[in-house]
Chains A and B, each alone.
Chain A
Amino acid sequence: MTAPADIVRLLAPELIVALTGALVIVIDLLRPQVQNAPRTRPGVAYVGIAGLGVAGGFVVSLAGERGDLFEGLVLLDPFSTFFKLLFIAIAMIVLLVAVDPLPRFTRWPAEFHALIIWCTLGHMLLAAAGELFTIFLALQLTSLPLIALIGYAKRDARSGEASLKYLLLVLVSTAVLLYGMTLIYGSLGTSTISEIGERLAGQSTIQPVLALGLVLLLTGFAFKITAVPFHYWVPDVYQGAPTPVTAFLSVASKFAGFALALRIIVTGLRVPLDWSLIFGVMAVLSMTLGNLAAIRQTEMKRMLAYSGIAQAGYLLVGLAALSERGVASLLFYVVAYGLSNLAAFTSVIVIEQATGSTRIEDYAGVSSRAPLIALCLTISLLSLAGLPLMAGFMAKFDVFLAAAETGLAWVIAIGVVNSVISLYYYLRVVWQLYVSPSCRDEARIPVQVRPGVALAVCTVGVIVIGVLPEPVMRLTEHAASALFGG
């Protein structure tokens, strides 16, 4: 048993995040309301960011400690610490970026911030969960705010449609997941992941019921990590959701899925199944379908949605390697992809704010209207394509190196061919930015301070990690070895 004081101490980050969400709403209620005036409310966002920052500080101060709470329901190890910090950082950036565009689609910014913060709480718990039903609860905590967030632009029909689609998806995947969990619990008599691992380790064959349970469980996650063939919801939802929400969805939600999948697969599923093959095939399908579909897109958010599906494929390569190095490379890829994608979406938000459009053809001439935005967007896209000097290059190389160790040459071969395909559609955007002659509007695009800061942080991060990846690699190796019991 852990003493109550200890529980509070070890759960401090989560408690602070939960309270911050509430605080944001309360503060907003205490302020005088002005009717019908679209306004930015940076104050509440700053409170949220500060709260998240404090929580992040506590996560760092607890980084040396390991252990579990409530008989293994919640785990504290370097792996969960890594993801908690990641989720907090993402939420801080999204909050900062969302302040300026919010008045365009809502009069209630405070609730928006609170929902992002609570959703982050769900992500943090997911990364720390050590037991199936805790996972289920944490998943609900992420899904419910997301449904509201996606439909936050009430006057935009596409936002509502996206929200409804996401709701249906959540219902289906939750049902599937829950059914899988009950089957596993029914056959093994435990819901703790480490105990599942121990009981499965002795078995040389696998019962059909249990196999079905495992497959259903993984299907539930596959929706979240947007891997093919569970990706159909992605383009519509990404396009319909308000762009800051899309940015949040495209990184935080996907990474939460990966955190969960890693924990369960590495510590739980020690069964005689060829996981390498299963994830290898999923990786290859995601990359190929995502990239081929992205080529045809004319809308930036849709293109980034398909590119995100393809990127999930590269992340899955690290999972398919099923080794400590593979997991470490996946975590490194997560950081690189997160920074690049956030930078890309922030650029999209800034341009959308000025032009009201997210169509790729409307990006013509941005290089002269907003040179720095064009530069940052180019850097982030080239990073996503995996070109050197940018984080994406190191990440791809690292993932492929890990896959080569396990002998997944076929996955690597298809993966590198896919990078070439992806370069084509990323470069088409760059072409619009710098070369396209069809620039209709010559007015300069204003860049607000808040998204500007977020963009600078992400872009500089992309380059720094691309040139000096060692410190981040150390961190990811540390986190990965914790997962493997090191």
Chain B
Amino acid sequence: MTTMPVLSIIVLTPALAGVLIALAGRGPHVPRAIAAAAGTICLCACAWVYATYDRAAAGLQFIESVEWIPSLGISYALGVDGISVPMLLLMGIVMFTGVLASWDITERPREFFALLMLLVTGVFGVFAATDAFLLFFFYEMAVVPMYLLIAVWGSTRKDYSAMKLTLFLFAGSAALLIALVLIYWQAGAGTFDLVTWAQTAFPPEFQRWAFLLTFVGFGALVPIFPLHTWSPDGHVAAPTAVSMMHAGVLLKLGAYGIIRLGVAVFPDGLSNWASLIAVIGAINVVYGAFCAMNQADLKYVIGYSSVSHMGYVLLGIAMMNRFGFEGAVFQMFAHGIMTALFFTLIGYVYESTHTRQIADISGLMRRTPLVAAAFIIASAASMGLPSTSGFVAELLVYLGILTRSPLLAAIVFTGVVVTAAYLLRMLGSILLGEASPAVADLEDPRPVRLAPMLILAATIMVVGIAPATMYETIRSATGPLLILVTGG
């Protein structure tokens, strides 16, 4: 083992970069260079964690712990297990590609990149924290910059969407705060350490309500039906990099929180509410897919498809079996990469055409075959076609559902059919045919804009074709979790 605080490097590098950017000049060059440097450092560190994580040994690794607020029993405690490692890698990739995708931002670039770095610190912090208070602290820190990022740099109804998003997410975190302070006293250990909490046997009645609070609190971010309405609006209004992080990673914060604080600490709570979660998950999948079918704006299509795909995560958790848990985490990773790719592509097309209406765009295949190819790869992952990461994830979730309830599997499967329908319709409309006037000026992207598309598309294919490493990583954490939930 090394003594290098690699997790602190991952969490604090963006924060430091943010401060440096805030002190930098007004032009776009210095801020984006600093952001790209931070992105490179974080991506390398995340990849290193992913590569050196010991899959044979379960439990937390790369542990760091410093007393932070001893008066309240709060520590700056970091550590990762098989669920957080893929999430860190996901965030590393999305951060790096997100910075590249924002390369051409000209409006107040200094403020943009500084806020973006603050957001990134918050997200990394949530995935690395093993102290409940620290996790909550980072969680809120990730939400704060969202408001300004959307309200200042966004498009389509940005004021409304930014405020709606912020209020929804803070309503969720209000529920979390209640849960945290109640759990603290119920646990009676004078600590916010999540490992200690997970080992505490809470009374079943308390577990029920505390789990519900955390589920609703984090669920607002997943987003669970019926708290999902902020999400498509937010995706659409946000600037490209924020959409990527938002759909790609922020939604996973919610699911991650449900697993880390809800499932691991209150296993009885999960078994109590499992059927409710399954129903909500099924509604997310099917309802989200039908909503996506009905959209004319590309970003809205992907926004609702996120609602739909996150339903699989909920379903996986609710199945409380091996494949379900593994599928849920795998889907978090797979969906993060595929939506990030979608939003990069849509952002690129929008910058040049100034439209996202499906009806106005056609013939992308002729104008820019590279972008068109990337669209196809992202859609293939979204439809769950073999050789993409989406296939592995959905396969695992469906295996989980089938062992539990074939009927539910049949109902949810309509989601797959509808997903294929809206994606094929979308692809057919924007890729094929003659180039429409709107895309007349569209060209193949420059290397700096092409790089994020390549990285994300390659990740989809690599994880889809050779999923073993990712699978083993996830399994090292979901195995012990399952024992906790099913009681052995």
Contacts and interface: CB of A to CB of B under 8 A. Distances in A.
The answer to whether A and B interact is yes
Interface of A: 382, 387-389, 393-394, 397-398, 400-401, 403-405, 409, 412-413, 416-417, 419-420, 423-424, 427, 430-431, 434-435, 469-470, 473-474, 477
B48 interface: no
Given A397-B177, A400-B177, A404-B182, 9 more contacts: A389-B141, A401-B181, A417-B171, A419-B170, A419-B174, A424-B167, A427-B166, A431-B159, A477-B71
Contact of B68 (A387, A389, A409, A470): A470
Contacts of A412: 177-178, 181
Contacts, number: 76
Interface in B160-193: 163, 166-167, 170-171, 174-175, 177-178, 181-182, 184-185
Lowest 10 A-B CB distances belong to which pairs? Answer: A416-B174, A404-B181, A473-B71, A388-B140, A420-B170, A435-B151, A401-B181, A388-B137, A388-B141, A400-B181
A419 B176 CA distance: 13
A405 B185 contact: yes
B358 interface: no
A417 B184 CA distance: 20
Contacts of A434: 148, 151-152
Contacts of B138: 388
A416 B177 CA distance: 8
A430 B171 CA distance: 19
Contacts of B171: 417, 420
Contacts of B71: 470, 473-474, 477
Instruction: Select the residue from A394, A416, A434 with max chain B CB neighbours within 10 A.
Output: A416
Contacts of A470: 68-71
B270 to A, nearest CB: 22
B144 interface: yes
A423 B172 CA distance: 13
29 contacts: A387-B144, A388-B144, A389-B144, A397-B133, A400-B178, A405-B185, A409-B182, A412-B177, A412-B178, A413-B178, A416-B174, A416-B175, A419-B170, A419-B174, A420-B170, A420-B174, A423-B166, A424-B163, A427-B163, A430-B148, A434-B148, A434-B151, A435-B151, A470-B68, A470-B71, A473-B71, A473-B72, A474-B71, A477-B71
A319 B17 CA distance: 41
Contacts of B185: 404-405
B184 A404 contact: yes
Nearest to A474: B71
Contacts of B181: 397, 400-401, 403-404, 412
A280 to B, nearest CB: 15
A10 B355 CA distance: 75
B147 interface: yes
A401 B72 contact: yes
A172 B71 CA distance: 42
Contacts of A474: 71
A393 B140 contact: yes
B299 to A, nearest CB: 20
Interface of B: 68-72, 133, 137-138, 140-141, 144, 147-148, 151-152, 159, 163, 166-167, 170-171, 174-175, 177-178, 181-182, 184-185
Contacts of B147: 427, 430
B104 to A, nearest CB: 21
Contacts of B137: 388, 393
B167 A423 contact: yes
A400 B175 CA distance: 12
A469 B69 contact: yes
A436 to B, nearest CB: 9
B174 A382 contact: no
Given A401-B184, A430-B148, A416 B68 contact: no
Contact of B178 (A388, A398, A416, A473): A416
A403 B177 CA distance: 12
A434 B145 CA distance: 13
Contacts of B174: 416-417, 419-420
Nearest to A431: B151
Instruction: Select the residue from B166, B170, B175 with max chain A CB neighbours within 10 A.
Output: B170
Nearest to B182: A404
A418 to B, nearest CB: 9
Nearest to B144: A387
A394 B159 CA distance: 28
Nearest to B181: A404
A474 to B, nearest CB: 7
B285 to A, nearest CB: 29
A292 to B, nearest CB: 15
B71 to A, nearest CB: 4
A431 B159 CA distance: 8
Contacts of A417: 171, 174
Given A389-B141, A409-B182, A413-B178, A398 B72 contact: yes
Contacts of B170: 419-420, 423
Contacts of A427: 147, 163, 166
Contacts of A413: 178
A430 B150 CA distance: 13
A202 B71 CA distance: 34
B330 to A, nearest CB: 31
A470 B170 CA distance: 26
A470 B68 CA distance: 7
A375 to B, nearest CB: 9
B53 to A, nearest CB: 28
Given A413-B178, A423-B166, A435 B159 contact: yes
A94 to B, nearest CB: 29
A420 B176 CA distance: 13
Contacts of A424: 163, 167
B167 A420 contact: yes
Nearest to A401: B181
Contacts of B166: 423, 427
A338 to B, nearest CB: 20
B417 to A, nearest CB: 39
A409 B144 CA distance: 26
Contacts of A387: 140, 144
Nearest to A402: B181
Contact of A409 (B69, B140, B178, B184): B178
A434 B133 CA distance: 31
A419 B184 CA distance: 21
Contacts of A473: 69, 71-72
Contacts of B141: 388-389
A416 B68 CA distance: 24
A387 B71 CA distance: 20
A184 to B, nearest CB: 35
A469 B167 CA distance: 27
A387 to B, nearest CB: 5
Contacts of B144: 382, 387-389
Contacts of B177: 397, 400, 412, 416
A113 B71 CA distance: 39
Nearest to B137: A388
Contacts of B140: 387-388, 393
A74 B244 CA distance: 62
A408 to B, nearest CB: 10
Nearest to B15: A389
